[in-house]
Structure 1
Amino acid sequence: FWRDGYAATGLDRLVRRTGASRYGLYTTFGGKRDLYLASLERYSQAVMDPMLEPLENARASGREIRAFFERVLGLIRRPGGQRGCFVCNAAFERGGVDAAAARRVRQHFDRVRRLLTRALANARRDGSLARDVAVAACADHLLGVAAGSFLLARSGMASGFIRRFVETALKDMT
């Protein structure tokens, strides 16, 4: 699903990739859609939780925001990084047609935005972010930068281009 998307991933491919039988997939997940939703949840736990780890600290600030974006860029640079982010891909492909997928995507984006908002507020307090920066608007912007970075990677943009995109967004943080 992550590489090819929901529509392009047939049950035969899932059987080949997982090594499970059709019967096993249907018995365990009920069907392709339920397997897709379970895959989104697993991706969130296996990939996104470690990526967000720097921001989970209640005292996270500018340094942790930069660490988060370094992890975003690191994922993009890894082999297979051109797949982008499975959650972002789900937003584009399934967000408008699958309420459960859209809900999962919104939960993820809300979590990232909440963590960024807290870290930005801390950064403003500790002086690593200018006092005149609107925290909520900046968090919205940085969420878009993170998602946009993965979209750019999926579209084949060079990692240097994406790094400059991210660095420009972080320029107000010391």
Structure 2
Amino acid sequence: MSWDDTAPPPFVLLDDPLAYILAAHLRQRAVCTVLRRFATDRVASRAEADRVTAYLTGDLRLHHEDEDLDLYPALRRRALPEDGLGITLARLGEEHRQCAAMADIIGEALSARPADDTVHIYTAAGEAMQAYAASEMRHLALENGVVLALARIRLTRPDLKAISRGMKLRRGVDGA
């Protein structure tokens, strides 16, 4: 994955919220790849560090709200008992909270010494980046393989429109 893969999905995808969420997941994977590189190289350019920090403190939080406030509740309403989604969605919501805490630690490490052109990644920060990336990759596999697959089957057109509207409102996009 390249650095270009960390760009936000186009807002036009908000009309198809499951496609937008999938694109956001691809972006998360790209950010994880960048974090692994930071941890391995033990350095990052200030521009890269700032870009990742902005993602972790901004867009990632919006993405989690998209899922926690819109997607997961809609799925809970539509899922059948045999889907067994209750425990899975509760676990994913808890992982979002854990992810936010890890993202704060990583953001602090990447924001240290803002006047420096190069950010030095110390052992503890590198370990946090590796742990975060590994956790996120498992999380994304579950969301893509189970949650989004069931969402495509269970959610109705009105459900998808409501999810789209919530996502647009969070981003201040017209047409919400």
Shorter-chain TM-score range:
0.3 to 0.5
Larger Rg: 1
For normalisation by structure 2, the TM-score amounts to 0.35
Identify, as 1 or 2, the structure richer in helix: 2
Work out which structure has the larger RCO, using CA pairs closer than 8 Å and 6 or more positions apart in sequence: 2
For normalisation by structure 1, the TM-score amounts to 0.35
